Chains A and B, each alone.
Chain A
């Protein structure tokens, strides 16, 4: 089974700077990783994904990087905005089983 670890419970950055959120995984066999953002009192919303055949995927201010040799992926937000303050979850999808495994989440605070 895939395990997904987000080792930083929280991150604080200044508005306009880069936010880097990290995620480690254990099983080299995977299809997709996804990042979700969650505001208080709301459900998580999908942000960006990356497949195992890519090293990078970019969508506007959000870029996800994949380092397969290190079993590590990271989400970069540039420039960070106060509205980005939320909990960010990294998740693996087991396409065969159809279920997602989530990390514990990282709380990002972007200070004005």
Chain B
């Protein structure tokens, strides 16, 4: 089974702090994704990556950046955390190809105070 591991289940940070969310997958998947989930808004794509050192903006990239230095690891960075970035953050990976499903981690609940 594919395992996607997010380093923290819960984080509490202060406004203005730089925040790193880490994600590791163990199945040699090409594609990795960061989503945030908010009540009534479903899952919204922040950034994704097809390969090492490659990144693409999703639907809501403002205030975020990403890093993919190794194939198995995809980091989400909040440059200067704000209260409207309080959310559940979900990392996912996929093999790629037609109909290839996403495999999600268990999420990081980030609270910015």
Partner-B contacts on A (CB < 8 A): 6, 9, 31-32, 34, 36, 41-46, 49, 51, 89, 91, 93, 95, 98-105
Residues 77-103 of B, flagged 1 when their CB comes within 8 A of A and 0 if not, give 000000000000010101011111111
Please judge, given known A-B contacts A43-B90, A99-B45, A99-B48, whether A49 and B40 are in contact too, CB under 8 Å.
no
**Cβ contact within 8 Å between B102 and A95:** no
**Cβ contact within 8 Å between B31 and A98:** yes
With the chains together, A51 CA to B98 CA distance in Å? Answer: 9
The stretch from B12-20, B62-70, B104-112 touching chain A is B104-112
**Which B residues between 35 and 87 are near A, CB-CB below 8 angstroms?**
35, 40-45, 48, 50, 56, 58
**Cβ contact within 8 Å between B33 and A89:** no
Q: How large is the interface on B (under 10, 10 to 19, 20 to 34, 35 or more residues)?
A: 20 to 34
Chain B residues near A101: list those with CB within 8 A. 45
Partner-A contacts on B (CB < 8 A): 4, 9, 31, 33, 35, 40-45, 48, 50, 56, 58, 90, 92, 94, 96-107
Question: Considering only CB atoms, which chain B residue lies closest to A47 in the complex?
Answer: B101
**Cβ contact within 8 Å between B104 and A102:** no
**What are 20 A-B contacts with C-beta separation under 8 Å?**
A31-B99, A34-B99, A34-B101, A36-B102, A43-B106, A43-B107, A44-B90, A46-B101, A46-B103, A49-B99, A49-B101, A51-B98, A95-B98, A98-B96, A99-B33, A99-B45, A100-B33, A102-B44, A104-B41, A104-B42
